Amino acid sequence: RPWECPECGKRFLSRTKLLRHERVHREERPLPCPHCGKGFKDNSTVTAHRRIHSRERPHECPECGKSFSQSSTMTRHQR
């Protein structure tokens, strides 16, 4: 992992991932939600947030049929 964060020493395989990580140390949130304006640090987070507004729940538990907006929430439910 050749790319190292100068702030915390965490290492990354690509410069792109290092640059994305560096936002953690700054209060930079360049990706606004088009519905409410709340800012986010990466696309996956703003996508998950937008599901609040759309009420989209694409992750369905195969055992009980309950739907979730995030796969991690469904995984926690299945435990």
Find the domain containing 45 and state its range: 28-79
The rounded percent of the chain whose pLDDT value lies above 90 is 70
- Is the pTM of the predicted complex or chain greater than 0.85? no
CA distance linking residue 70 with residue 11, whole number of Å: 27
- For residue 7, the model assigns a pLDDT of 92
- For residue 43, the model assigns a pLDDT of 87
State the residue for tokens 């990354």. 12
Q: Domains in the chain: how many in total?
A: 1
CATH of the domain at 71: 3.30.160.60
Is 22 within the bounds of a domain? no
**For residue 16, what are its two tokens?**
């792109």
User: Per-residue confidence at 23, pLDDT binned at 50, 70, 90?
Assistant: confident
Please check whether residue 77 is in contact with residue 66, taking contact to mean a CB–CB distance below 8 angstroms: yes
Average pLDDT of the chain to the nearest whole number: 92
Please check whether residue 48 is in contact with residue 69, taking contact to mean a CB–CB distance below 8 angstroms: yes
- When pLDDT is averaged across residues 36-52 and rounded to a whole number, the result is 90
Is 46 within the bounds of a domain? yes
Is 23 within the bounds of a domain? no
Is 50 within the bounds of a domain? yes
- For residue 44, the model assigns a pLDDT of 87
**For residue 77, what are its two tokens?**
């439910």
Is 14 within the bounds of a domain? no
DSSP 8-state class, residue 31: E
Is 17 within the bounds of a domain? no
